[in-house]
Structure 1
Amino acid sequence: MKQLLVFVLFAALLCWLMFSPIYKHVLVIRQALLQQEVDYMLEIGASGKYGYIDSWMVEQSRSRLAGYGFSPSVLEYEIYSTSGADSGDPTSPLPRGTGLQLRIAYPYENLLDIDRLIGLSPPSEHARISGRGMKMSEYVPD
């Protein structure tokens, strides 16, 4: 009986040791992709040409991230300006010096459930990984 118990515990530990680094790597890559997308969108949105991030830009971002395996329907975008002005209105871009803030969040999607094998509890269903950033608008009206 002892040998069976040792075998089961050893098998669970071996599975966790083999597969946990892979899932952790996927998690790190997803977070890096989210941060890369935030940086790209802020670079474009805060440029002298735009001064905003509108819904069309968000849809383009969703399609880019879908190419990396993200589910576009569960991506959450939060776009703010430091002045409180609407940061997604193409008719009134944010003037130069106003901060444009962006956060893109995505759920863990049961990625860390394998940690239950060694007694760790995975993040809740509502926990999310995210990328965030802020860039000052460079838009100057003509």
Structure 2
Amino acid sequence: MKQLLVFVMFASLFCWLMFSPIYKHVLVIRQALLQQEADYMLEIGASGRYGYIDGRMVEESRNRLSEYGFSAASLQYEVISTTGAPADNAASPLLRGTGIRLRITYPYDNLLNIDRLIGLAPPSADARIAGGGMKMSEYVPSQ
């Protein structure tokens, strides 16, 4: 009986040691892709040409991230300004010096359930990884 128990314990530990780094790597890559996309969208949206991040830009971002395996429906975008003005209105771009904050989140999708093999609790079902940042708008209205 002891030998069977030891076998089961070592088998689960061996599985965790083999596969956990792969899942952690996937998690790190997902977070890096979210951060890269947020940086890109902020660079474009806060440029002198736009001064906003609208729904069209968000849809293009969803399409880009879905090419990497993200579920487009699970991505959540939060676009706000430092002044409280809408940061997603193309008719009223944010003027130079106003901050645009962007946060993109995505669920863990049971990615860390393998940690249960060694007694670690995975993140809750509503926990999300995120990428984001803030950039000052460079938009200046033309005369």
- Work out whether the TM-score is over 0.5: yes
Q: Distance in 1 between matches of 2:83 and 2:6?
A: 62
Q: Percent identity, please.
A: 75
Deviations 1:88-123 (A, max 9, x none): 111110000000000000000000000000000000
User: Any residues of structure 2 matched to 1:45-60 within 5 Å, and which?
Assistant: 45-60=45-60
SS at structure 2 position matched to 1:129: strand
Superposition TM-score, scaled by structure 2 size: 0.99
User: Any residues of structure 2 matched to 1:1-142 within 5 Å, and which?
Assistant: 1-142=1-142
> Which residues of structure 1 form unaligned runs of 5+?
none
SS at structure 2 position matched to 1:117: helix
Q: Distance in 2 between matches of 1:112 and 1:9?
A: 19
1:57 maps to a residue whose letter is M
CA shift for structure 1 position 45: 0.1
> Which residues of structure 2 form unaligned runs of 5+?
none
Superposition TM-score, scaled by structure 1 size: 1.00
CA shift for structure 1 position 9: 0.3
SS at structure 2 position matched to 1:27: helix
CA RMSD of aligned residues (A): 0.3
2:85 maps to a residue whose letter is A
Deviations 1:28-82 (A, max 9, x none): 0000000000000000000000000000000000000000000000100000000
